[in-house]
Amino acid sequence: MKLWEKGGHTDPLIHAFTVGRDPEFDLRLAQYDVLGSLAHARMLSECGLLDAAAHAAVEGGLQTIHSDIIAGRFAIEEGVEDVHSQVELQLTRAVGEAGKRIHTARSRNDQVLVDVKLFLRDRIREVVEQSAGLAEELLDRSDDSAGVGMPGYTHGQAAMPSSFGQWFAAHAESIGEDLILLYAAYRVADRNPLGSAAGYGSAFPIDRMRTTELLGFETMHVNAIDAQLARGKTERIAAQAFASVAATLARFAADVCLFASGNFAFVRLREEITTGSSIMPHKRNPDVFELVRARCNRIQAVPGDIALCMANLPSGYHRDLQIIKETLFPSIDDLLECIQVLRHVLEFIDLRDDILADGRYAEIFSVDAIRQRMDSGLPFRDAYREVAEQLRAGSLATPSVTASTHEGSPGNLANHRIRQALATETARFSFSRRDEAFAMLLRAPAED
pLDDT of residue 20: 72
pLDDT above 60: residue 391: yes
pLDDT of residue 78: 86
Positions of CATH 1.20.200.10 in the chain:
113-147+161-189+223-357+414-428
Positions of CATH 1.10.275.10 in the chain:
12-104
Mean pLDDT of 338-360: 96
Q: By C-alpha distance, which of 287, 356, 116 is closest to 215?
A: 116
Please state which CATH number belongs to domain 113-147+161-189+223-357+414-428.
Answer: 1.20.200.10
CA distance 244 to 367: 33
pLDDT of residue 14: 75
pLDDT above 70: residue 445: no
Bin 72: left if φ > 0, else alpha if -120 < ψ < 50, else beta. left
pLDDT of residue 4: 42
pLDDT of residue 448: 54
Q: Give tens-digit pLDDT for 172-229.
A: 999 999 999 999 999 999 999 999 999 999 999 999 999 999 999 999 999 999 999 9
Reported confidence tier of residue 399, pLDDT bands at 50, 70, 90? confident
pLDDT above 70: residue 7: no
| Least confident range of 161-170, 259-268, 392-401 | 392-401
Instruction: Please classify residue 198 by burial: count the beta carbons closer than 10 Å to its beta carbon, then call 0-12 exposed, 13-18 middle and 19+ buried.
Output: middle
User: Comparing 10 with 428, which gets the higher pLDDT?
Assistant: 428
Mean pLDDT of 163-174: 98
Q: Give tens-digit pLDDT for 288-338.
A: 999 999 999 999 999 999 999 999 999 988 888 989 999 999 999 999 999
CA distance 384 to 366: 9
pLDDT of residue 8: 58
Q: Give tens-digit pLDDT for 221-272.
A: 999 999 999 999 999 999 999 999 999 999 999 999 999 999 999 999 999 9
Mean pLDDT of 139-151: 97
Q: Which residues pair with 351 in a beta bridge?
A: 267
Q: Helices 108-144 and 164-189, interaxial angle, to 10°? A: 160
> Are the C-beta atoms of 246 and 253 separated by less than 8 Å?
no
Beta-carbon contacts of residue 347 (< 8 Å; ≥ 6 apart): none
Can you tell me whether residue 171 is helix, strand or coil?
helix
Encode 37-65: b = buried (16+ Cβ within 10 Å), e = exposed.
bbbbbbbbbeeebbeeebbbbbbbbbbeb
Question: What is the CATH architecture of 12-104?
Answer: Orthogonal Bundle (1.10)
Mean pLDDT of 153-179: 97
pLDDT above 70: residue 447: no
HEC string of 57-98? Answer: HHHHHHHHHHHHHHCCCCCCCCCCCCHHHHHHHHHHHHHHHH
Task: Return phi, psi of residue 220, to 5°.
Answer: -130, 160
User: Comparing 223 with 403, which gets the higher pLDDT?
Assistant: 223
Percent above pLDDT 70 for the chain: 96
Mean pLDDT of 28-47: 97
pLDDT of residue 6: 47
Reported confidence tier of residue 53, pLDDT bands at 50, 70, 90? very high
pLDDT of residue 425: 97
Written as one string, the DSSP assignment of 277-326 is -SS-TT-EE-HHHHHHHHHHHHHTTHHHHHHHHHTT--SS--GGGGGHHH
